[in-house]
Each structure stands twice: as C-alpha cells, then as structure tokens.
Structure 1
C-alpha cells in the first residue's frame, strides 16, 4: 500500500450554528475542561483553577439572596446559546430563569440570563473582555468581569443593541454596586 495524501472535500460553507452546538455537546472533553463556541469555533479550555472556587462561591452566595423571582444563581457548567451572534458560552457564574432548564435540549437560552460572571485567566481573558463583552452587552442585564490577574471587578450594565452603556470598576476589597434587577452592594473582599 502506498502512503500518499488523500484530498478531502472542503466544506463549501462553515458549519451551521446548531451543528456546532451539537458537536460541542457531544465532545468527550477531558475532565476539567469545557467546550464553548467562541468566534465561530469550538474552543476547549480548562475549568477555573482551584483558587477561583472561593471567590466564585462567595459571589454566588451574595447574589443568591438578591436574584429576581423565578431565577437562581449557580456555577454549574452549562452552555448558553446566543443564536443571533452564533455563539455558545459556559459562564463561570450566572443567574438564570429556572424555566430555561425545563427544556429537553442541551443548551439553555442566553435570553434567560440576568447576570453573568466571568473569572479571567491567562487563556480566557481576551474572550472575557472582548467577544463575550460584545455578545452579553446586547442581551444580559449585568455582566461581571472578575479580573483575577489585575485584582479588579468590573460591572457592566444597561445593555443595548450596541453593547453596554455603563460600567464601574473597583479593586478587590472595595464595594461594588450591582444594579437592577439585583440592586445591592457587593462585598468584593474575595
């Protein structure tokens, strides 16, 4: 048998958004990794480092008593779909409508989110500050970027078709006002 390169038919168009979502859900990612759709591609990245657990838990606990009726705060890895942007993200922390998880599908509707929190890492910082900011800024009422490298938390709010209209950044340890629908002051001493 002669070894030689075998041409394959190139895709005439990129895979459809729903196909990418299905592929991401069916992937057998290694333990400790998650698959997201970033910039139209499936990106596999590690879950947050162990030292992120405490800040995630403390933030979730503070949020829990302020979530809107019919919602809950969690850190479980679920993929939320954003069809108009053809993206699917698995936020580190989120507040979502409970009914979004009553569907049979594998991906929750991004419109069910009232808050997303992303904890930056060296590998995810660019996507958290750029791509996700753009997508969340058109739909999600509150987006928290917990910058673990710079020890700051930024609260983006007031979404619009062009992205968030407002933002506040504080250093860890300073109080941070979380606007409606939460309306409380977050203790950032994490």
Structure 2
C-alpha cells in the first residue's frame, strides 16, 4: 500500500483575536516564560532576568505610595487585552484598577491600567519601544520604559488616538517626574 499525503484544509484568514487569547490561556508555557500577543502572533519570551528584580521592586514600592484610589501596583504576570488593537500584553510592572480583577476569566481589560512599566531586554526592546508604545499610547495614562541596555528611564504620558503627546527621559540616578494621576518623582538612584 502506497502512502499518500492527505490534504488538510487550513483557514485562509488569520485566527481571530479571541481565538488567540484562548490559545494563550490554554498554553502550558515553561516555568520562567510568558506568552503575549505581539504583532498578531503569540510570542513566548523569558521573564525578566534576576538582576532586574531589585529595580522592579524599587519602582513598584515607589509607585504604590502614589497610586490612584482603588488601584494597586504589581509585577504578577497577568495578560491585559487590548481588543481594538487585537493585542494582549503581560507587562513587567503595572498599576491597575482592582475592579478589573473581580471578573471571571484570565485576561484583564487594558482599560483598567493607569500605568505600565516595561523593562527592556535584548529580545523585547523593539516591542517595548515600538509596538507596545503605540498600543499603550492610545489608552494607558502613563508608560515607563526602563531601558536596561542604555541605563535610562523614559516616561510617556498624555495618551491620544495617535499616541503619547509627551515624554521625558533621564539617565539612571537622576530623578524622573511622573505626572497625574501619580504626580510624584521617582528616585532612580541604584537603578
């Protein structure tokens, strides 16, 4: 008996956003890795390096003292969905409305975010500075990019349909003002 290939029908259109979210939820990613929807694809990348931990913790502690009423700062891995952009991101650090975590399901609404902080790595730097900047820039009030390769931190604020209208960059060790709804200065000494 001769083996013949059996053609399989494949969808002609890319998977729908909700299908991709379901796939991410069902994935059994290896310990130390997270899955995100970037550029319409599921991307699996490692969690931050150990040397990032102190910086993440220091930033989270400073933010926690200034979060808006009903919000909290955390670094726990959760995927936030952005349906209009068909994206889902698991930020390194975030400040979000506690009410978003009362829902059933596995993905929080990106509209619940009041601040996102991404710590760049060689593998994520491009997405942090480009794609995520575009998506966050239309919705999230404050976006912090902690550039671990260039030893700088950038604060973006004043989102609009065309992206953030304002930004400030400082080198590690210099103070960085974070505008409303936080309105305080980050001490980057030791970053």
TM-score tier by shorter-chain length is: over 0.9
Tell me, in whole angstroms, the C-alpha distance in 2 between the residues paired with 1:25 and 1:154. Answer: 31
CA RMSD of aligned residues (A): 1.0
After TM superposition, list the pairs within 5 Å mapping 1:26-41 onto structure 2: 26-41=26-41
1:109 to 2:76 alignment: no
Stretches of structure 2 that go unaligned for 5 or more consecutive residues are none
Q: Give the match's secondary structure for 2:145.
A: strand
Aligned residues: 190
After TM superposition, list the pairs within 5 Å mapping 1:124-143 onto structure 2: 124-143=124-143
Tell me, in whole angstroms, the C-alpha distance in 1 between the residues paired with 2:103 and 2:4. Answer: 48
The structure 1 segments of at least 4 consecutive aligned residues displaced by more than 6 Å after TM superposition are none
- Residue 21 (structure 1) aligns with: 21
Deviation readout 1:60-115 (Å, 9 max, x if unpaired): 00000000000000000000000000000000000000000000010000000000
- Residue 44 (structure 1) aligns with: 44
- Residue 82 (structure 1) aligns with: 82
Q: CA deviation at 1:12?
A: 1.8
Tell me, in whole angstroms, the C-alpha distance in 1 between the residues paired with 2:3 and 2:65. Answer: 64
Q: Give the match's secondary structure for 1:118.
A: strand
TM-score using structure 1 length:
0.98
Deviation readout 1:100-147 (Å, 9 max, x if unpaired): 000001000000000000000000000000000000000000000000
Q: Give the match's secondary structure for 1:10.
A: coil
Change (3 A) 1:20 1:175: same
1:172 to 2:172 alignment: yes
Q: CA deviation at 1:9?
A: 1.4
Tell me, in whole angstroms, the C-alpha distance in 1 between the residues paired with 2:118 and 2:7. Answer: 41
Change (3 A) 1:101 1:6: same
Q: Give the match's secondary structure for 1:180.
A: coil
